[in-house]
Amino acid sequence: MLEHKLDLLGIRWPATALGMALILALLGPIVIDLEQGLPLSLQSLLVCWLPLMFGWRAGVAGVLAYIFAGSLGLPVFAGYRGGIDVLAGPTGGYLMGMPVAALVLGTMATSSPIEDTDRQRYVRIALGMLIGHVVILALGIPWQRKFDPSLNIPALLEALYKPALLKSAMGLLLSVMVMRATAPRA
């Protein structure tokens, strides 16, 4: 989506990837408690949204750089945590699902025709946000279950679907705002 505009400005994907990693490092640790202690982390919102805007190369590289920074101990993961123990712990599968989601979503973005209407772009973004969260959950839940074999997966999914839908809606709203702000003026 924005990748094409940045290419026209001469900004290549490595610079965009670095910017993505910095955005993730600054905003990814923020967790907002919703109802009854249900966390809403900006981490997966950004991991799903940024590749839709900047493509698969910047998306995957930015997410991998972010995970690498967290593995070194920098407090960039949700809740201001960091270290290899986070990657090796119950939430490690979710973190490892993030580059996969970035690849899927970034590929969606770069394979979309430039001449798409705004409505088509918005539908693709909304679907992409949902798909990205499903990919992260699909890789994270089995990993988490290794640490807790008695994990009630239906209850976990019931607890996680509302934040995933909310983050998807937030990503769509953010996309609309960014796309309108960067649209050429007549």
- CA 125 – CA 148 distance, rounded (Å): 34
- pLDDT (tens digit per residue) in 42-99: 898 899 999 988 889 999 999 999 999 999 999 999 999 999 999 999 999 999 999 9
String of DSSP letters for 39-108: EEEHHHHHHHHHHHHH-HHHHHHHHHHHHHHHHTT-S-BTTTB-SHHHHHSTTHHHHHHHHHHHHHHHHH
Q: Is the pLDDT of residue 164 over 60?
A: yes
Taking the domains of the chain in order of start, what are their residue ranges?
A: 2-181
CA 120 to chain CA centroid, Å, is 21
Per-residue confidence band for 23, with pLDDT thresholds at 50, 70 and 90: very high
pTM across the whole model = 0.86
Q: What pLDDT was estimated at residue 96?
A: 96
Per-residue confidence band for 1, with pLDDT thresholds at 50, 70 and 90: low
Mean pLDDT, rounded, for 165-169: 86
Q: What pLDDT was estimated at residue 75?
A: 97
CATH class in words for 2-181: mainly alpha
User: Among the listed ranges 32-41, 56-65, 139-148, 151-160, which one has the minimum average pLDDT value?
Assistant: 32-41
Tell which wins on pLDDT, 33 or 108.
Answer: 108
Q: Is the pLDDT of residue 134 over 90?
A: yes
Amino acid symbol at 88 = A
- CA 70 – CA 109 distance, rounded (Å): 26
